[in-house]
Amino acid sequence: MFEAVEELLVEHADLEKRLADPSVHADQNNARKLAKRYAELTPITRIYRQWRQAGEDIEAARELAVEDPDFIAEVKDSEARRDELTEELRLLLVPRDPSDDKDVILEIKAGEGGEESALFAGDLLRMYLRYAERVGWKTEIIDSNESDLGGYKDVSVAVKTKGGSTEPGQGVWARLKYEGGVHRVQRVPATESQGRIHTSAAGVLVTPEAEEVEVEIVANDLRIDVYRSSGPGGQSVNTTDSAVRITHLPTGIVASCQNEKSQLQNKEQAMRILRSRLLAAAQEEAEREASDARRSQVRTVDRSERIRTYNYPENRISDHRTGFKAYNLDQVLDGDLNPVIQSCVDKDAAAKLAAAQEN
């Protein structure tokens, strides 16, 4: 398992020397890439050195135990410590999703269930906003289309880390990428007079937010339509053609925005959504063309089908991909989402590790 670690140690040492060279920082983009890679390798280097030291401690304690049986306990302690470090190192060597450090655009759309589905979409939005607040992320609603009863027919929100920098693998995408899919709710709707439990659903789409340099968009490939905004709004929101819809003609991907007061602002927000959708589409295509091994490294938890059930009568939350189940739905909807997401992270890591070991 650790055959490649020595090469990583050499790479880490080389990066350390290069980053100490002032001339490297003349190119800020290159310097950032080198620093990011250095930060990725630093914990591997640290844990591997501790792992080797634990092995040396075991050998020393075994030699001493020959003369003094009291050192047998020290042998066992050192072996337990090495086992812990081995597992830590295994997880660090799991192939990483290159988008894990990115911010995301999260979209929620009402599905089956009419007005009740729109209300549930609003509940999901509040859940994600509260979760983001708990973990210290910033949120910005980019576009929304409210329903008559205060829910959302669809809503798009940007979620990003404060300050724009994170530890490697700790970006918003690293956690929220598991939220994409169909979310099902079972409860008595506000519109139900007979007290019967209904089942409805809402869809969640999560895409890593793309930088302009990551996605090349040719102006001639775009069709830009303007129209009058709809739904709640003040002066100039519903009375002028400020809403913008952008269609990327080669792919047919569409992005729209009507929340802002000016057409220019809406165009900027729609382009932001479009870039992220185009990046996600390009990544999906690359994954389809990749080998099974590559796909297992990038994405092992299926996000295209029904992923979770929110059962109000039983106060139960169930994730159908991981088998996670808990009876604290009220707390989850209040933003206590970490245990649910962690079950996906753990299963994803286990699948990737298994695939890496097979190869």
pLDDT in tens, the chain (359 residues): 567 788 889 999 999 999 999 999 999 888 888 998 898 899 999 999 999 999 999 999 999 998 888 889 999 999 999 999 988 888 788 777 878 888 999 999 998 778 899 999 999 999 999 999 999 999 999 888 998 888 999 999 999 987 654 455 568 999 999 999 999 999 998 777 677 888 889 999 998 887 655 677 888 899 999 887 765 444 444 556 789 999 999 999 999 998 887 888 899 889 989 988 898 888 777 666 544 433 332 333 444 468 999 999 999 999 999 999 999 999 999 999 999 999 998 888 888 777 766 65
Q: Angle at Cα 191 formed by Cα 186 and Cα 193, nearest 5°?
A: 95
Q: Which amino acid belongs to residue 345?
A: V
Closest C-alpha among 56, 53, 41 to residue 9: 41
- The CA distance from 325 to 309, in Å, is 10
- The CA distance from 296 to 185, in Å, is 30
Residue 182 tokens read as 């169909």
34, HSE (Cβ side, Cα atoms, 13 Å): 19
Residue 357 tokens read as 């070991």
193, HSE (Cβ side, Cα atoms, 13 Å): 0
- Predicted pLDDT at 289: 54
Helix (H) or strand (E) holding 356: helix 338-358
- Predicted pLDDT at 241: 74
Residue 208 tokens read as 């890593």
Instruction: Tokens 């519903």: give the residue.
Output: 238
Neighbouring CB atoms inside 10 A of 253's CB total: 15
- Predicted pLDDT at 5: 86
Neighbouring CB atoms inside 10 A of 223's CB total: 11
Centroid of chain to Cα 172: 5
Residue 238 tokens read as 């519903």
Q: Is 4 exposed, middle or buried (0-12, 13-18, 19+ CB in 10 A)?
A: exposed
- Predicted pLDDT at 316: 97
Closest C-alpha among 182, 176, 175 to residue 109: 182
Write the CB contacts of 17 (distance below 8 Å, at least 6 apart in sequence).
none
Instruction: Specify the pTM.
Output: 0.68
